[in-house]
Amino acid sequence: MIKKIDIKKMNEEEKRNTYREAKILELLSHPGIIHFREIYKNSAGELCIVMDYADGGDLAKMIKERKSTGKRLEEGKILGLFAQMVLAIKHVHDRKILHRDLKCGNVFLTKGDIVKLGDFGIARMLDQTSDFAETVVGTPYYLSPEIVQAQAYCYKTDVWS
């Protein structure tokens, strides 16, 4: 899969932030995280981030499809997906990285229901495990109470999401 980002109209800070997503993905080598392949600039001036393709869509799509057909997810399947997500997030947090936008649309799946956490576009690296972030970012439905109340937050905010 190639994520194309038009950087022609971005200022230098926005460009640095865009490159940061690729650099974070490069640091994360785990079976539960979308694998980074390479980054390059194409002839149209777009930044291209090449990653593995998750052929099963995302968790949001799976839930929507199940809801429309009236078929509930089996408890065992839910627990299996949840366990994979927790292991992927633990790997991210062990590397002092906050994802900051965990939601069903950023939990990708393979056809075999293997979880691949992705979209690290607003992720943030912390200097120490005890550091806190303060920027209000993320998808509104998934924001932790600390972010909503404009308080400093840490790894717990990803768990809330």
Q: Which residues are designated catalytic?
A: 101
Of 159, 117, 95, 119, the residue nearest 33 (C-alpha): 117
Q: What backbone phi and psi angles, to 5 degrees, belong to 34?
A: -50, 130
Helix ranges restricted to H, 28-74: 59-69
Distance CA 122, CA 59 (A): 19
- DSSP E strand boundaries for the chain: 2-6, 36-41, 46-51, 97-98, 107-109, 115-117, 124-125
Q: ∠ at Cα 143 (124, 97), nearest 5°?
A: 20
